[in-house]
A = this chain, B = another copy of it.
């Protein structure tokens, strides 16, 4: 009843046997015809293909994988609960691999090593061709050892072994984009409000900010939340001294908190202060008033490249190990003022 009717007896998937019988050839000839190898007459090949298509034959990937040792399946392991990073990455991976007939197992393992091990084992049992390990922090490993697996592993946004290939966004580049944009539109006193000190990417962004902005103001470290954005604004405006005319925030949530706090103080964004965020998390950036100009880490592209790389490794093609930093992109909305510089 569920899942399709049985028509005239037992429900059975169509196999290459059926194709062979219908086309009046042997199984091996059918196989060769469909895979365009072996030798046979053009007429035979065409007939087999036509018959196969007519009766709706689709090869059993399990059987094929058993022999070829390729399952056309890869695993995506993540500890990112909210999907903030994982989902765009997954979208990219999936988009890149669907053309190659590869599907993706998604496993969310929180931070539980046991669960992680179970999922890795399950993937291995299912003969995945490769694994992409992704996380929410560059400098944290997944809670499971991926170093001696019989399949290739590539890392995205999480720390891998030195001889592996890791994809990450170029945080320094992102910070540079943000600061340069702010200067181009005429801002000079730029403050950087960011996340916790112990994040690697926080350092990279802060360093790039200092270099690009001339290091006028010290960086303000805090947490990744809106409320920290609020507090930071309170701190700045409650202390004596010149106020900034621009903020570069470590993520969109902080930026949103800051924008809200500024509005509550009667300070106009973008007229009095320009604000740039980081992440381009649509749900936050686009709903802020005014919508945030922010740095996009191009996670989908990152996923696409990670997908193609793990595929290359699975197919035995050589891949240079190391860290690949992908450039960021500035998404201009309204939190900085005119959408062209020097307006």
**Interface segment, A22-30, A122-130, A211-219?**
A122-130
Q: Is the C-beta of A225 less than 8 angstroms from some C-beta in chain B?
A: yes
Q: Is A9 an interface residue (CB 8 A)?
A: no
Q: Is A103 an interface residue (CB 8 A)?
A: yes
Contacts A125-B59, A125-B61 given; does A3 touch B83 at CB 8 Å? no
Residues on B with C-beta less than 8 A from A165 are: 2
Complex Cα–Cα for A306 and B313 (A): 36
Stretch at the interface among A105-113, A169-177, A181-189, A195-203: A105-113
Of A39-47, A147-155, A271-279, the segment with at least 4 beta carbons within 8 Å of chain B is A147-155
Contact B58–A62 (Cβ < 8 Å): no
- Please determine whether A148 and B5 come into contact, CB atoms closer than 8 angstroms: yes
Number of copies: 2
Size bracket, chain A contacts: 35 or more
Within A220-235, the residues touching B (CB, 8 Å) are 225-227
Smallest CB separation, A312 vs chain B (Å): 10
Asked if A2 and B108 sit within 8 Å, CB to CB, the answer is no
Set of chain B residues within 8 Å of A106, measured between Cβ atoms = 90, 104-106
A4 touches B (CB below 8 Å) = yes
Determine if A108 and B91 form an interchain contact, defined as CB atoms under 8 angstroms apart: yes
Please report which residues of chain A, range 82-100, place their CB below 8 angstroms from some CB of chain B when the two chains form the complex: 82-83, 87, 90-91, 94, 98
0/1 per residue, A1-42, Cβ < 8 Å to B? 111110000010100000000000000000000000000000
Asked if A253 lies at the interface with its beta carbon under 8 angstroms from chain B, I say yes
- Contact A163 B1, CB 8 Å, known A71-B62, A94-B107, A282-B82: yes
Residues of B contacting A65 in the complex (Cβ-Cβ under 8 angstroms): 62
Interface string of A49-86 (1 = CB under 8 A from B): 00000000011111101100001110000000111000
Alpha-carbon gap, A292 to B101, bound state (A): 44
Distance in angstroms between the alpha carbons of A184 and B150 in the assembled complex: 60
Q: Mark A114-158, 1 if CB is under 8 A from B, else 0.
A: 010011011111110010000000000000000011111100000
Given contacts A61-B127, A62-B126, A83-B87, contact A4 B105 (CB under 8 A): no
B83 and A101 contact, CB distance less than 8 A: no
Instruction: Please state if A287 and B253 are interface contacts (CB–CB under 8 Å).
Output: yes
Give A73 to B2 CA distance when docked, in angstroms: 18
- CB-based contact A11/B150 at 8 Å: yes
Also in contact, A2 and B164, with CB within 8 A (given A62-B65, A105-B104, A126-B103): yes
Contact B126 A73 (CB under 8 A): yes
* Residues from chain B with Cβ under 8 Å of A98 in the complex: 115, 118-119, 122
Contact A151:B108 (CB < 8 A) given known A60-B66, A62-B66? no
A341 at interface (Cβ–Cβ under 8 A)?
no
A281-323 CB mask vs B (1 if < 8 Å, else 0) is: 0111001010000000000000000000000010000010100
A-B contact pairs, 13 of them (CB 8 A): A2-B153, A58-B124, A58-B125, A61-B125, A61-B127, A62-B66, A62-B126, A94-B107, A98-B118, A103-B107, A103-B119, A226-B287, A253-B287
